[in-house]
Amino acid sequence: MTHGPFEFDEIGVWSELKLEIVGKYGAAYTNAFKKSDRLKKYYIDGFSGPGAHVSKATGSIVEGSPARALKVSPPFDGYYFIDLNPEKTDYLRSLCGNRSDVHIRTGDCNDILTRNCCRRFNTEITTAPCVSWIHMACISIGK
C-alpha cells in the first residue's frame, strides 16, 4: 500500500505477534517501576519504521512499534525513535504530533545511539532504566 512517497511494509503474522508483545512487555515494564518516581523510563526504538504497516494476512493497516509504545500505560517518561529513511521519520512525526516527550531522529541508529546523540539523550539514558527495542529483539537495560 502506497502512502505518500513510500510504501508501508507488509508484515506477516509473526511480526503482528511481535508488535502485540511490544505493548504488553512495555506495560509490564512501566508498571514494575511505577512506584519509583526517581527512576525515569525511556523507550528507545533504533529501527522505528513509520509507525504503521500493512498486514499480509488481512491487507489492513497495523500499528507499528512506535504507536504501540506510545499507548503503553503507565507511560514512559520519553520516547526516542530512529530510522534511516527520512520519509518514514517524516510520516512518524506526523503521527506523533508535537509531543515534547517524543524525539525522532533520522539516520543510522548505530551512529545516533553511540556518537551523534544530543547531551540530554546521552545523560538521561545512561542514568535511567529503559526499554530498547532493537528490530526483532527486546532488550531491557536497567540501572
Ligand X SMILES: C[S@@+](CC[C@H](N)C(=O)[O-])C[C@H]1O[C@@H](n2cnc3c(N)ncnc32)[C@H](O)[C@@H]1O
Q: Which residues make up the interface to ligand X (CB under 6 A)? A: 9, 19, 45-49, 64-65, 82-85, 88, 108-110
29 or 143: whose CB is closer to ligand X?
29
- Could you tell me how many helices (H) and strands (E) the chain has, helices first? 5, 10
Alpha helices by DSSP H, listed for 2-128, are 13-32, 65-71, 86-96, 109-111, 119-127
* Residue 117 in grid coordinates: 546523540
CB of 31 to ligand X, least distance (A): 21
Contact between residue 124 and residue 78 where contact means Cβ atoms under 8 Å apart: yes
CB of 30 to ligand X, least distance (A): 18
39 or 132: whose CB is closer to ligand X?
132
19 or 39: whose CB is closer to ligand X?
19
